[in-house]
């Protein structure tokens, strides 16, 4: 009887030991760190805290120090680069990159992380982390980066919104008031294609980045172009800055034809933003006003 009790106690002890070891490496239902070779979760949790802190502060230097080198970085277009050290990686990443990665990590609480023998996965594979180095005290490090589409396709852009002031000749103001006509300000954004991306250009050889129209009452006054209609996923195809062409015309509320001839804008958005508000003077087409290119 005593021998049987001893065997039962030994079995319970082994089960408790196995259960404790399992619990020490278990993050959640989809990740047992034992598959990576880790003996407990403390090292990974330290890495995870440092990763989340670096992303929350958009600290590229701190983030880069968490990587194992050489590090392969893939983007959503199938391109990839290999970085040899933290300095090189830091230069590649910007605030927009870390913001997108922060969202991927924020959507991946520790208890819902997935892992296999390739490491621990954040988001839909935006970041992979695994044990790195040699020896018993191997730290967890970033072992692969797969930049989300918002990073790969939407590089940081300067402000794209701006203000214009529409002014009218007396005859134009009188005509618009009498016919209850409106004024439309139309902004067409574009850019010059990068070498190799000419296939994305339109019939005039430019990358179409979208159009935004603002309608104001038929009297002189301000109009604000937000820049929110810009197709940012196309910015990767252009070289140099974003450009804009702005035209002003009657809104055709009282008839099928435009009755205004106005100054216009065509050039770099950065120059327009710097010199805003840009005054655009309009007269009736029948007045044959001299129009000017701005800014």
Sign of CA dihedral 121, 122, 124, 126: negative
The pLDDT score that the predictor gives to residue 113 is 93
Domain membership flag for residue 128: yes
Domain membership flag for residue 127: yes
Same domain, 146 and 166: no
Give 218's DSSP letter: S
Domain membership flag for residue 170: yes
- Count structural domains, the chain: 2
Picking from 114, 133, 152, the residue at the C-terminal end of a domain is 152
Domain membership flag for residue 180: yes
Place of tokens 């006509």: 181
Nearest CA to 294 out of 250, 221, 244, 251 is that of 244
Return the CATH number at 119.
3.10.450
Sign of CA dihedral 143, 149, 151, 152: positive
Same domain, 174 and 118: no
Same domain, 117 and 223: no
Taking the C-alpha atoms of 237, 240, 241 and 246 in order, what is their torsion angle to the nearest 10 degrees?
-80
Picking from 89, 117, 152, the residue at the C-terminal end of a domain is 152
Picking from 131, 152, 173, the residue at the C-terminal end of a domain is 152
Same domain, 14 and 142: yes
Same domain, 17 and 140: yes
44 vs 27: CA distance, rounded Å: 10
Same domain, 148 and 12: yes
Same domain, 234 and 279: yes
> Mind spelling out the 3-state secondary structure of 138-196?
CCEEEEEEECCHHHHHCCCCCCCCEEEEEEECHHHHHHHHHHCCCEEEEEEEEEEECCC
Domain membership flag for residue 62: yes
Strands 67-74 and 140-146: parallel
**What Å distances lie between residue 201 and 71, 91, 153, 204, CA to CA?**
34, 29, 16, 8
Rg for the chain (alpha carbons), in Å?
Answer: 30
Same domain, 168 and 277: yes
Return the CATH number at 235.
2.60.40
Per-residue tens of pLDDT for the chain, all 295 residues: 544 444 433 444 444 343 444 469 999 988 999 999 999 999 999 999 999 999 998 889 999 999 999 999 987 767 788 999 999 998 888 777 788 899 889 989 999 999 998 899 998 889 999 999 876 678 999 999 988 765 444 444 568 999 999 999 999 999 999 999 999 999 999 999 999 999 999 999 999 999 999 999 999 999 999 998 899 888 889 998 999 999 999 999 999 999 999 999 999 999 999 999 999 999 999 999 999 999 9
The pLDDT score that the predictor gives to residue 292 is 97
235 Cβ contact list (under 8 Å, min separation 6): 153, 154, 155, 157, 191, 209, 242
Q: Which strands, in side-by-side order, build the sheet including 207-216?
A: 207-216, 183-193, 238-250, 264-268, 293-294
Place of tokens 């800055």: 241
Same domain, 178 and 101: no
**What Å distances lie between residue 209 and 32, 156, 220, 276, CA to CA?**
46, 15, 28, 21
Domain membership flag for residue 157: no
Same domain, 138 and 171: no
Same domain, 287 and 199: yes
Is the preceding peptide bond at 295 cis, omega within 30 degrees of 0? yes
Same domain, 199 and 59: no
Question: Which domain does 19 fall in, by range?
Answer: 2-152
């Amino acid at each position: 009887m005593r021998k049987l009790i001893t065997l039962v106690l030994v079995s319970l002890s082994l089960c408790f030991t196995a259960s404790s070891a399992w619990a020490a490496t278990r993050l959640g239902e989809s990740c047992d760190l034992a598959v990576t070779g880790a003996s407990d979760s403390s090292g990974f949790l330290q890495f995870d805290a440092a990763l989340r802190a670096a992303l929350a502060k958009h600290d590229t230097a701190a983030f880069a120090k968490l990587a194992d080198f050489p590090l392969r970085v893939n983007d959503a277009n199938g391109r990839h680069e290999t970085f040899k050290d933290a300095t090189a990686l830091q230069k590649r990443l910007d605030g927009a990159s870390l913001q997108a990665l922060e969202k991927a990590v924020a959507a991946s609480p520790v208890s819902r992380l997935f892992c296999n023998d390739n490491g621990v996965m954040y988001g839909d594979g935006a970041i992979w982390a695994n044990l790195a180095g040699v020896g018993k005290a191997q730290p967890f490090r970033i072992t692969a980066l797969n930049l989300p589409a918002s990073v790969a396709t939407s590089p940081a852009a300067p402000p794209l919104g701006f203000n214009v002031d529409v002014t009218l000749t007396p005859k134009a103001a009188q005509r618009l008031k009498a016919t209850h006509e409106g004024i439309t300000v139309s902004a067409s954004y574009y850019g010059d294609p990068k070498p190799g991306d000419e296939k994305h250009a339109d019939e005039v050889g430019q990358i179409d980045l979208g159009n935004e129209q603002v309608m104001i009452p038929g009297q002189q006054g301000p109009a604000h172009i937000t820049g929110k209609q810009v197709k940012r996923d196309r910015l990767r195809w252009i070289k140099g800055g974003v450009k804009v062409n702005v035209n002003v015309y009657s809104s055709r509320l009282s008839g099928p034809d435009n009755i205004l001839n106005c100054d216009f804008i065509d050039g770099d958005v950065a120059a327009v933003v710097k010199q805003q508000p840009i005054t655009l003077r309009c007269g009736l087409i029948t007045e044959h006003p001299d129009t000017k290119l701005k800014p």
